[in-house]
A and B are shown apart, each in its own frame.
Chain A
Amino acid sequence: MTQTKGQAENGSVVLALDNITKRFGSLVANDDLSLSLKRGEILALLGENGAGKTTLMNVLFGHYVPEEGAIRVADDSGVLHELPKGSPSAALDAGVGMVHQHFTLAENLTGFDNIVLGTESLWQVWRSRRALRKRIDAIMHESGLTVDLDVKTAQLSVGEKQRIEILKALYRDVRVLILDEPTAVLTPQEADGLFIILRRLAASGLGVIFISHKLGEVLAVSHRIAVLRGGKKAGELTTASADKRSIADMMVGRAVPPLQRKPSQIGAAVLEFDQVSLKRGSVRQSLNEVSFVIKAGEIVGVAGVSGNGQSAIAALVSGLETVDKGSVRLYGKPMKTGDPRALVAAGVARMPEDRQHDGVVGSMSVAENIAIEDLHGKEFQTAGFINRKAMRKRASDAIKAYDIRCQGPDAQARLLSGGNIQKLILARVLERSPKLILANQPTRGLDIGAQSEVHQRILAARDRGAGVLLISEDLDELFALSDRLLVVHTGEVMDAGPAEGLDRGSVGMMMAGHTLQVAS
């Protein structure tokens, strides 16, 4: 492959980061970090959300200017040269390529145009498409990254867009390829394909940095692991000598407590669906004569392949939809669907699936977002005006109690990481001692530490006597938390019975649409 250039051999250092420090205001995102990468090596950069992984890579690629430290990249003969700070073009010229977590593709342009963008002199009056195309075809062939280059990238799948991003880097003859959480958007099959390609690229002499917070894939694909925590390096070890438990603890900085389940104290029904039907055009949004009950003190998990009616159930319980047929009862009384304010007042806690979009107002502060459901109550009002002092007090307490990492009550919510946004939502809804909790994909995209905290909170609420409706696509999570399982398929709900002793195979069959007689 073309990037196998110069005399430098596999194993020689291709990139060195020396004592990098990067601050955002009072937040130290990278604190005196040092790291090195060898040719032919896949280095996994592991850490929780907000540990400073992405910041470090943005410093390396020149998007951010570090306050202190130096970046050195090897040239063709293996000699390290210091990189000018804050210049993506210098990084590109030195052979550093980056695949961002949020793709940097011009979606109205074709894959071909995105790849060659900026590689030719801007003052050329002619583009030599054919020669460029030949080169890309050769790279595609050698790396195994095949993708249609002639359609607008907007029409490509996420996995295909990522291939274009990798091709963009390879086309520039990179020595170092950085991938920022590349599997976050991929299906398991696509992720496996990516790993094969990464290994092949590394074998051909490329240095690869692979950013992730998923332990399993890091152990599967990398040669060496560097763990970041709170902006500092928490440890560095070869993958061969690593095990899941120890790196998890290294990432979180303390032992991750295993979930403690007490036997549940089942009480009266809090939510009852009785022959509820909802027709909203697509199957995704529809329910067909669905009946189930959730009682106080139990967690009822809803399993199912995404798009089989979960969002319709969630929309009804959130007060965002009204039923077409059937009835919903809350605490035994008929509930008026489609009235979110009444639901909140009645003590329903809602954790929406798309927490960035539906869970917070990004441009509003943390304090405002925490108080938002209570604004019409007495707590945050004096004589009809908003009592900002009370709002900030509640926020400061919540930031401490729920360990929300942010710059304070006045920070904009959109600047928080996914895990911290979820903690903010928990702080908003759990403080009201809700009797019914809708947890829709509560830990999707969260790191281990945050996941564990969310799980503990949900279990604690259930032990306190709340009924929990847990919708998740993660079977591990469903089995770990649920007392009882429901399975949805094409808008119908099947009762799979108590989670304990239930076997995964039969749940999988039900998810695929088979009605099973569950052995009691």
Chain B
Amino acid sequence: MEILEILLTVNFWAAAIRIATPLIFGVLGALLCERAGVLNLGIEGIFTAGAMAGWMAVWMGCGLWTGVLVAALAGAIFGLLHAILTVVLGLSQHVSGIGITLLATSMGYFTYRTALPNVSTPPRIVPFQPLDIPVLSDIPFIGPVLFQQTALTLLAFVLVGVVAWLLYRTPLGLALRAVGDNPSSVEAQGLSVRGLRIGAVIAGSSLMALGGAFLTMSAFDAFFFGMVNGRGWICIALVVFASWQPGKALLGALLFGAFDAFQIRLQTEVGAFVPGQVFLMMPYLLSILALVLVARKADYPRSLLVPWFKGQR
């Protein structure tokens, strides 16, 4: 059957991984924040800010990697703001996060419009190019799928390992997991609850911004309005789907990438009979379904959403 043959093409799998890449960055970022006990709904806006900042830096003449750093820095700044509001002041994490999404998105658009007031077609940059790694890229099937991607995609995969190592193999990761579970345990052992949480939110927000940067500097070569298009929200759902584990987060992102790549190809097959919107809906419907099946058993970080104050009775 033609529809199933799609699953066997190199092209499909390469696309799935490309689509999954920004989600991997985003879901790792959200995971870091939430493991420390802070929900960061600023993610959607931080994506936009990262996409905008990275692209703008390159357009103004910086190198691609400098652009990536600028994007991460933009994410860190919004992360710091979220941390001040939720960790230091103990305000509602939902409200602060949504506020940051609105703020960061609007600031991104505003900066773009201010810098380019009279442009009708978005200017292009030279984005990251697919890699050509000796030997690895030449492996049949796996080579083109995994190793002819851009450097940012590989970075995303490497970061999954780094975050997993950090969480489970280092004392810092242990402290992070503990602070999201019961801040008192961390305080009683002489560590700083605030320090850990602020650090986690800043680092996580930087990762989210990289997801945005991938969009303008690798997947596309320009900045468009509305280009983030709900990817941040998908990451929030994927963290739950992944039970806050980096490995499962990678799996979830890839699954979503595969659904999305599949629906695009399905449209060309049966698009004549079924309206396109149905296909656009499909990955989201499937992620809701996956959430229902998986997340009911999920082990939440116990103090997620709970602010902590020193000496409180």
Chain A residues proximal to chain B, CB less than 8 Å: 58, 63-65, 88-93, 98, 100, 102, 104-109, 113-114, 116-127, 168, 415
B174 proximity list for chain A (CB < 8 A): 109, 113, 116-117, 127
Is B178 close to A, CB under 8 A? yes
Chain A residue at smallest Cβ distance from B310 = A63
A126-B301 in contact given A106-B182, A106-B185, A108-B177 (Cβ < 8 Å): no
Size category of the B interface is: 20 to 34
Chain A residue at smallest Cβ distance from B182 = A106
Bound CA–CA A63/B193 (angstroms): 13
B186 proximity list for chain A (CB < 8 A): 106, 117-118
A sample of 22 inter-chain contacts (CB < 8 A) reads A63-B310, A88-B190, A89-B190, A91-B190, A105-B182, A106-B177, A106-B182, A106-B302, A108-B301, A109-B178, A113-B177, A114-B178, A116-B171, A117-B185, A117-B186, A117-B189, A118-B191, A121-B171, A122-B191, A124-B171, A125-B170, A415-B313
Taken residue by residue from 160 to 179, chain B's Cβ proximity to chain A (1 for < 8 Å, 0 otherwise) reads as 00000100011110110110
A92 proximity list for chain B (CB < 8 A): 189-190
User: Is there an interface contact between A104 and B185, defined as CB atoms closer than 8 Å?
Assistant: yes
B301 proximity list for chain A (CB < 8 A): 108
Bound CA–CA A89/B192 (angstroms): 9
Chain A residue at smallest Cβ distance from B176 = A122
Is B267 close to A, CB under 8 A? no
Q: Is the interface of A mostly helix, strand, loop or mixed?
A: loop
B311 proximity list for chain A (CB < 8 A): 58, 63-65
Is B138 close to A, CB under 8 A? no
A100 proximity list for chain B (CB < 8 A): 184, 188
Bound CA–CA A351/B92 (angstroms): 36
User: Is there an interface contact between A127 and B178, defined as CB atoms closer than 8 Å?
Assistant: no
User: Is there an interface contact between B178 and A123, defined as CB atoms closer than 8 Å?
Assistant: no
Taken residue by residue from 129 to 146, chain B's Cβ proximity to chain A (1 for < 8 Å, 0 otherwise) reads as 000000000000000000
**Apart from the given pairs A63-B310, A64-B311, 7 other A-B contacts in the complex at a CB distance below 8 Å:** A90-B190, A105-B182, A105-B185, A107-B182, A109-B174, A117-B178, A118-B190
User: Is there an interface contact between B188 and A88, defined as CB atoms closer than 8 Å?
Assistant: yes
Chain A residue at smallest Cβ distance from B187 = A88
B313 proximity list for chain A (CB < 8 A): 415
- A108 contacts which of B169, B171, B175, B299 (Cβ < 8 Å)? B299
A114-B185 in contact given A107-B302, A108-B299 (Cβ < 8 Å): yes
Is B181 close to A, CB under 8 A? yes
Cβ distance A104 to chain B, nearest Cβ, rounded Å: 4
User: Is there an interface contact between B182 and A119, defined as CB atoms closer than 8 Å?
Assistant: no
A91 proximity list for chain B (CB < 8 A): 190
User: Is there an interface contact between A127 and B171, defined as CB atoms closer than 8 Å?
Assistant: yes
Cβ distance B189 to chain A, nearest Cβ, rounded Å: 3
- A106 contacts which of B169, B172, B178, B299 (Cβ < 8 Å)? B178
Query: Which residues from 281 to 301 on chain B have a C-beta closer than 8 Å to any C-beta of chain A?
Result: 299, 301
